[in-house]
């Protein structure tokens, strides 16, 4: 079985986040890491491979340095990595990103495509749906438990009313939640072995993506302005000079909160 996991490099959790004032986009020049729920998707793909056999390929759209983050997933056990890196793809929104990923997935001809439910830098939680629509494949999202029997996938997901159990024929797209598993830690052997695994960097042309449908040219959303939230009025600042607790109590009593 051929499995592809779509992953994204996001700013490292410890890095200071800033917006580039020139582009109104998130500045990604600092340290990056694989998106957290994408690690759950990689783990689930590896488990399917261990049970069914086959190959796990990582697919990412991003800058050249994103390959550094992909190596962590290779160290977990993925077989190869494909990075679509092209200046013409910079600034791609959901629509443009889904076009590029769909073209790259058509090139890979995967039986099963995994996504993390959402990315930590955007929290859109709809990219997997847009890609599935372009590929004309069934999609199961928010999956917390997955079964693959060779010809179909069965996903169990929690909703506000209980659980849904959805079955879809292969080839299919599956978006997993962080409840599905606990991602494994790369072993020393895996880390050393990741260096020799196939790591391919390709352009938009290589995957058959239209440059006019990628990047800012292919995007359908525009950021008009960004500004900090308005300051709140009525704030009281308490300096701890040894009487902070008493001051807090007095304030709460004044506001009739206690």
Q: What is the torsion angle, in degrees rounded to the nearest 10, for the CA atoms of residue 148, residue 154, residue 159 and residue 163?
A: -110
184 in Cβ contact with 59 (< 8 Å): no
Nearest 5°: the CA angle 52, 80, 148 is 20
CA distance 230 to 223: 19
- What tokens appear for 125 in the block? 């939680």
Residue 100's pLDDT is what?
A: 97
- What tokens appear for 228 in the block? 């900090």
Report helix angle 66-76 to 36-52, nearest 10.
40
Residue 26's pLDDT is what?
A: 73
Q: Which residues of the chain have pLDDT under 70?
A: 13-15
Residue 233's pLDDT is what?
A: 75
CA distance 158 to 100: 30
Residue 25's pLDDT is what?
A: 74
Query: pTM for the full model?
Result: 0.84
Report helix angle 127-135 to 94-108, nearest 10.
50
Burial class (CB in 10 A: 0-12, 13-18, 19+), 233: exposed
Residue 231's pLDDT is what?
A: 76
94 in Cβ contact with 87 (< 8 Å): no
Residue 108's pLDDT is what?
A: 96
* Contacts of residue 96, Cβ cutoff 8 Å, sequence gap at least 6: 89, 213, 214, 215, 217, 218, 219, 220
Residue 142's pLDDT is what?
A: 93
Q: Where are the domains of the chain?
A: 2-218
Report, in angstroms and rounded to the nearest whole number, the Rg of the chain calculated over CA atoms. Answer: 22
Question: What number does CATH give the domain 2-218?
Answer: 3.40.50.620
Could you read off the pLDDT of 106-134 as tens digits, one per residue?
Answer: 999 999 999 999 887 777 789 999 999 99
- Please name the residue ranges forming H helices in 208-243: 215-218
Could you read off the pLDDT of 166-206 as tens digits, one per residue?
Answer: 999 999 999 999 999 999 999 999 999 999 999 999 999 99
């Amino acid at each position: 079985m051929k499995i592809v996991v779509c992953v994204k490099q996001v700013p490292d959790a410890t890095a200071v986040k800033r917006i580039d004032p020139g582009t109104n986009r998130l500045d990604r020049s600092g340290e990056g890491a694989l998106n957290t729920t994408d690690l759950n998707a990689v783990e689930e793909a590896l488990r399917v491979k261990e049970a069914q056999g086959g190959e796990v390929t990582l697919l990412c759209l991003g800058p050249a340095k994103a390959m550094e983050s992909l190596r962590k997933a290779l160290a977990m056990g993925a077989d190869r990595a494909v990075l679509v890196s092209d200046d013409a793809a910079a600034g791609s929104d959901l629509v443009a990103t889904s076009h590029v990923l769909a073209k790259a997935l058509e090139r890979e001809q995967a039986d099963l495509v995994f996504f993390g439910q959402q990315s930590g830098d955007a929290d859109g939680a709809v990219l997997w749906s847009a890609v599935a629509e372009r590929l004309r494949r069934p999609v199961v999202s928010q999956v917390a438990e997955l079964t693959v029997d060779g010809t179909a996938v069965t996903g169990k997901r929690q909703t506000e009313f209980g659980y849904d159990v959805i079955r879809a024929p292969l080839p299919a797209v599956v978006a997993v939640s962080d409840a599905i598993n606990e991602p494994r830690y790369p072993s020393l052997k895996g880390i050393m072995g990741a260096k020799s695994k196939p790591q391919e960097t390709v352009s938009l042309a290589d995957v058959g993506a239209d440059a006019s449908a990628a990047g800012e040219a292919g995007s359908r959303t525009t950021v008009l302005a960004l500004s900090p939230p308005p300051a709140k009025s009525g704030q009281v600042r308490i300096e701890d000079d040894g009487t902070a607790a008493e001051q807090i109590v007095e304030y709460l009593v004044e506001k009739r909160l206690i």
